[in-house]
Amino acid sequence: MSSDKIMLPVLGMKCQKCVARVTELIRSTPHVANVTVSLENRCAEIDFQPGTEVSLDTIAATLEGAGFTTAPDSAEPSSMEAAAQSGDDQSLETLRFPIKGMSCASCAAAIEKRLGKLAAVKSISVNLAGNFAQLRYDSRQVDEEAIYAEVDAAGFTAVRDHRQTADGRGTEELKLVLIAAAGAIPIMMLMFFQCSAPQPYGSMRLWRPSFNSPPV
């Protein structure tokens, strides 16, 4: 590419976080002097250093690796879920882990697209509301850390210690419940004995009506 400035279509952006991600990816390309990404126009205006040759295929591949495209998506057969459900291979495992940094549906789609490119991943679902991903993968071809690394490379954060975090949170909540229950038992026992103890006759206030005769 010999021109010093080009306008490159970028599809898949849904929020300012996506714009920032695309800007960062293009700016990291060698010989790029400046880049302006427009969410409304779905394009990037790229300024190159004078006299340099830059391949647009390199920029397009970088954007596609992060879940964006520079051309309308072609109809791709979605056979991952069918492959996961049709076989009962013992090597297929289910992995569910939290993800930090998602802010819109495009973020979730970018993660699904990146993880879906792994041959070992048979099905993938990213939940934006719950901020987690759940997938089925072949443990003989890829391990959990490689999956986490793909999420990190897309600009998000895969929570590795989610099992320990969940166990620790549950233990702490159980501890608080037991402490609260232990503090409530003495109060309940004191109220019970006060209600059931006999009251002395002298301490009871008896109401007696007054029969005063009217004056004659």
Q: pTM higher than 0.85 for the full model?
A: no
DSSP annotation of 207:
-
List Cβ neighbours of 124 (8 Å cut-off, separation of 6 or more).
80, 112, 115, 116, 133, 134, 135, 136
Is the pLDDT reported for residue 172 higher than 70? Answer: no
Strand arrangement, sheet containing 5-9 = 5-9, 43-48, 32-38
71-108 residue pLDDT tens: 754 444 444 444 444 444 567 899 999 999 999 988 99
Q: Report which of residues 46 and 2 the model is more confident about.
A: 46
Q: Report which of residues 126 and 187 the model is more confident about.
A: 126
Residue ranges of domains in the chain, CATH in brackets: 5-65 (3.30.70.100), 80-160 (3.30.70.100)
| Per-residue tokens: 72 | 């309308």
Give the type of residue at 120: A
Predicted pLDDT at 40: 86
Predicted pLDDT at 58: 86
**What is the C-alpha separation between 137 and 134, in angstroms, rounded?**
10
State the burial class of residue 142 (Cβ atoms within 10 Å of its Cβ: 0-12, 13-18, 19+).
Answer: middle
Pick from 53-57, 145-149, 157-161, 172-176: least confident: 172-176
3-state secondary structure of 169: helix
Q: Report which of residues 198 and 137 the model is more confident about.
A: 137
**What is the C-alpha separation between 85 and 127, in angstroms, rounded?**
20
Which residue is it, tokens 């939290």?
98
Q: Report which of residues 36 and 80 the model is more confident about.
A: 36
High-pLDDT (> 90) share of the chain, %:
30
